[in-house]
Amino acid sequence: MKLSAHGLRRTYRSGEVTTEALRNIELTVQPGEFVSIVGSSGSGKTTLLNTLSGLDTRYEGSVKLGDQELCELSEPQLAQLRHRHVGFVFQEFNLLDHLTTTENVTLPGFFGPRGDDNPRERAAQLLERVGLGDRLRARPPRLSGGQKQRVAIARALFCRPSIVFCDEPTGSLDRDTGMSIMRLFNELNDSDDLTLVVVTHERHIADLARRRIVLEQGRIIEDCQQTPRWPDDDTDDDKQQDGDDAYDDAQSGAGHREVGT
């Protein structure tokens, strides 16, 4: 499902204070893309994610998911659109501690028609997919941060979304664990053709997506395709390792181009 924003602005008003959190955003994400949005704290990343995903429709300009202008939908229509097509992953996992991993993953099925005939079986398959096939009955307090985020990812996939939005999904994880979560996203993007939009303030995380968008003070200042920069231990098998130019080119992000705002 294609995602597009044109002339997108979002201004927060509280009393005398107005904050222009997004200014004239132009953006199209094609089905199957893996995009990172990176910027410092306060640059507008969460605001952008919320407006693109239909959580916040108090914007000016246009945001379309497929053909739907999001601010024209009623709240129930929006909820249905999100339920059918959109998954979310957040920094803090948002799992229910008293439920098992399997039960956490099946939760979205209770909120709309896309529940499965056999939700527990689907949850088990998804937990297997994210590497937790042996923790189907564990409760979140017994899991590590990385494992909790894997459960949250399985939950985000439960209703078979076409696009998943992630707000700082590695923000509560150490570097290596964050990397392993990004590898999982990469696999899901590769093999399941899932569209991914990942917000982060960490450049090394943003470097792992196939396209990187840089936000600064509510504006897109850079939007480029890139060769994902995985740590050295995971360079692709088809690249030669003996310091040849092909590898160096790949690392310097061949295909870089800047796009106006």
Ligand X SMILES: Nc1ncnc2c1ncn2[C@@H]1O[C@H](COP(=O)(O)OP(=O)(O)O)[C@@H](O)[C@H]1O
Residue nearest to Mg ion (CB): 46
Binding at 41: pick from Mg ion, ligand X, none (beta carbon under 5-8 Å per type): ligand X
259: left (phi over 0), alpha (psi -120 to 50) or beta: beta
Binding at 102: pick from Mg ion, ligand X, none (beta carbon under 5-8 Å per type): none
CB 229 → ligand X: shortest distance, Å? Answer: 22
Q: What angle do CA 41, 44, 256 make, to 5 degrees?
A: 90
Residues linked to residue 35 through DSSP beta bridges, in sequence order: 197, 211
Binding at 43: pick from Mg ion, ligand X, none (beta carbon under 5-8 Å per type): ligand X
CB 56 → ligand X: shortest distance, Å? Answer: 9
Measured between alpha carbons, how far is 137 from 120 in angstroms, rounded to an integer? Answer: 11
Give φ, ψ of 176 to 5 degrees.
Answer: -65, -40
Name the residue nearer to ligand X (CB basis): 14 or 74: 14
Measured between alpha carbons, how far is 259 from 79 in angstroms, rounded to an integer? Answer: 33
CB 49 → ligand X: shortest distance, Å? Answer: 8
Name the residue nearer to ligand X (CB basis): 23 or 204: 23
- Residues found near Mg ion in the complex (CB under 5 A): 45-46
- Residues found near ligand X in the complex (CB under 6 A): 12, 14, 19, 21, 39, 41-47
Binding at 21: pick from ligand X, Mg ion, none (beta carbon under 5-8 Å per type): ligand X
Rounded to the nearest angstrom, the gap between the alpha carbon of residue 187 and the centroid of all alpha carbons in its chain is 13
Name the residue nearer to ligand X (CB basis): 3 or 21: 21
Binding at 44: pick from ligand X, Mg ion, none (beta carbon under 5-8 Å per type): ligand X
Residues linked to residue 152 through DSSP beta bridges, in sequence order: none
CB 83 → Mg ion: shortest distance, Å? Answer: 23
Q: Are 155 and 83 in contact (CB under 8 A)?
A: no
Which of 245, 170, 247 lies closest to 203, judged by CA?
A: 170
